[in-house]
Structure 1
Amino acid sequence: MASAIQLVVGLAALVGGAELVVRNGAALAARLGVPPMVIGLTIVSIGTSAPELAVGIDAMRANAGSLAIGNIAGTNVVNLLLILGLCALLRPVHFDRRTLLLDLPSVVIVAVLVLGLTAGGQLATWTGIPLVTLAVVYTVALGLWSKRSRDPRPVEEIEELIDGVGGHGAGRRTWLYLVLLVVGIAVIVVGADWLVGAAESLARAMGVSDAFIGLTVIAIGTSTPELFTAIISTFRGERDIAIGNLIGSSTYNLTLILGVPVLVSGGSGPIDPSLLRIDLPLMVAVCLLCIPLFLTGRRLSKLEGGVMVACYLAYFTALVVTQG
């Protein structure tokens, strides 16, 4: 009963936190003259990936690297198949030039790199160095790209769109947007921690493996910040933050969120063979699958979104049947 209450409270915190992040992330981007997608790809992406980072550090210190790596692989599949597919089902998703030339190649490259680094059955401490370095390089590249693209709309117009007609957004100071953005991310992180803790307690009682928990319960639980942020962004018309957050989170998951725990914990320890044979290659395949989808008219239609959601449900069902 206590776990069920904790799960509900965690979900409520995620909804409230996502609303704060979307409102104030977009407003802060307008104030600073930064494209909203860049805010989504950096501050929001790293913030909503904090649950995965906490899970990774704790798991690798406990010599449960399979849970951490399964969490990251499962989270990226959730982000790129389920959540992105749901966004397209709600409204067709359009991609800009930077998404196709920088964000998509980045997530594909780091996915293939992680697959290669894990080929030996574990991640050594030194492997965290190139992963964290790539996270820094990716962030710098985003910053350089953002200098070439500034949102053409006046700040006041964007703030009115965020807060609604008659809202008080135009009277707020930049520091207040930043504070509320940080508060939103903190609420999301705490809510995700409660949700994952409750879900993990229930899963452990069923006696399933660390890899299975990481790929399913923890992956879905730690993806709920991205899920709520993406859905709320979609309904509020801030699609750039939604898509930027999904792709950015997937890239940071494979670099910063995986690299830091490996460095801090001195390696991952042995990785479950099923992750090496099936789930990690499948994650790479999902990243590669995005290439033709994104290039077809530079958009995801509702039909393509439905196919992506169906593919994830099939994958989840197969996991439950074969490993659960």
Structure 2
Amino acid sequence: MLLFSVAILVGLVLLAWSSERFVDGASSLARHWGIPPLVVGIVVVGFGTSAPEMLVSLTAAMQGNPGIALGNAVGSNITNIALVLGVTALLMPLSVHSRVVKRELPLVLLAGLFSWVLLRDGSLSQWDGILLVSTLVGLLGWMVHTARAAVTAGDDTLLQEIAAEMPATLSQKYAILWTVLGLLVLILSSRLLVWGATGIAQAFGVSDLIIGLTIVAIGTSLPELAASIASVRKGESDMAVGNIVGSNLFNNLAVIGLPALLSPIAVPDDFLSRDLPIMLGLTVLLLLFNFTPPKRNVIARPEGAVLLLAFIAYQILLYTQST
């Protein structure tokens, strides 16, 4: 038991470290290759921040643990909205000024509904995976197009914050080094995390889905929590919300879709009846908090408290049902 716990802890620490190194190296390489900073900020950095979830889900699927793969994706979305935004909004109300974020918020709900439509038959096929990943590619192209229009207008705060937070450009040699090393450590740490999580699940006699929804999902969402808290401390609330919106889009489409490309995945009944509806419900709640009175385009402290209480209630529900 101790060995499995240490494996999870070390795996999470290495995941956080390697994903940051991978983002630094990949974004520098992209700029060396002449890719515009806007594209780097939206695509490369967005992909990199969701890399822990992607690698963990791919590893879990390859090792025959589909519950961890699916639980990690949906559990991370629940954690991002209810825990990360809940805690962040309690620290400081989150004002959403960016037109890019306002456009993307409904897309998170649509992506979640799309994944639910494909999953509701109890199986995630390779064709389903192709549809999900292809949708993400199309959305990324649309996001870059709309962001370019916002750059031309010059009045979108999120794009200004993205430019300010871009990692410093490394030399090409170090960019290649950090990209390759970061990816290798991501792969190794994800294998270590899945091994430890599977061992814990077997030791306690709970399903790997529960472990994926709790330990793995919360652990892989900790970088988003740290990034969002850092953003609000700098007064960059659009960045804090934008990080979560981007991460949840990747989770709904890539983190669920990529494992299915390897082999079909059986979807647990509990996942369809409990976890997916809760994820969709929290997404709807986030949209209501942002777009409806009394404060439009603001996630206030009371709303942050509601989100955090929802996260606690969900963890209690998982605990009572698993025991």
Aligned to 2:310: 311
Aligned to 2:94: 93
Secondary structure of 1:147's aligned partner: helix
Does the CA-based 8 Å contact 1:42-1:248 persist in structure 2?
Answer: no
Mapping for residues 247-266 of structure 1, pairs under 5 Å: 247-265=245-263
Structure 1 residues 234 and 158 mapped into 2: Cα distance closer, same or farther (>3 Å)?
Answer: closer
Q: TM-score, normalised by structure 1?
A: 0.78
- Number of corresponding residues: 309
Aligned to 1:66: 67
Aligned to 1:227: 225
Looking at structure 2, the residues matched to 58 and 158 of structure 1 have their Cα atoms a distance apart, in angstroms, of 33
Structure 1 residues 162 and 273 mapped into 2: Cα distance closer, same or farther (>3 Å)?
Answer: closer
Amino acid at match of 1:206: F
Looking at structure 2, the residues matched to 241 and 180 of structure 1 have their Cα atoms a distance apart, in angstroms, of 28
Q: Deviations over 1:106-156 (max 9, x none)?
A: 111111111111121111221112211110111101111121233679xxx
Please, which moves more after superposition, 42-51 or 69-78?
Answer: 42-51
Amino acid at match of 2:108: V
Q: TM-score, normalised by structure 2?
A: 0.78
Any stretches of 5+ residues in structure 1 without a counterpart?
164-168
Amino acid at match of 2:47: I
Does the CA-based 8 Å contact 1:129-1:259 persist in structure 2?
Answer: yes
Structure 1 residues 51 and 17 mapped into 2: Cα distance closer, same or farther (>3 Å)?
Answer: closer
Q: Deviations over 1:250-276 (max 9, x none)?
A: 1111112222221222x11x2211111
Looking at structure 1, the residues matched to 139 and 201 of structure 2 have their Cα atoms a distance apart, in angstroms, of 36
Does the CA-based 8 Å contact 1:26-1:162 persist in structure 2?
Answer: no
Does the CA-based 8 Å contact 1:7-1:194 persist in structure 2?
Answer: yes
Q: Deviations over 1:81-128 (max 9, x none)?
A: 111111111221121222122x11211111111111112111122111
Q: How far apart are 1:194 and its partner, in Å?
A: 5.0
Q: How far apart are 1:312 and its partner, in Å?
A: 0.6
Any stretches of 5+ residues in structure 2 without a counterpart?
none
Secondary structure of 2:267's aligned partner: coil
TM-align CA RMSD: 3.8
Structure 1 residues 18 and 55 mapped into 2: Cα distance closer, same or farther (>3 Å)?
Answer: closer
Looking at structure 2, the residues matched to 277 and 202 of structure 1 have their Cα atoms a distance apart, in angstroms, of 24
Structure 1 residues 262 and 18 mapped into 2: Cα distance closer, same or farther (>3 Å)?
Answer: closer
Aligned to 2:121: 120
Looking at structure 2, the residues matched to 261 and 308 of structure 1 have their Cα atoms a distance apart, in angstroms, of 29
Q: How far apart are 1:57 and its partner, in Å?
A: 2.5
Aligned to 1:134: 135
Does the CA-based 8 Å contact 2:55-2:186 persist in structure 1?
Answer: no
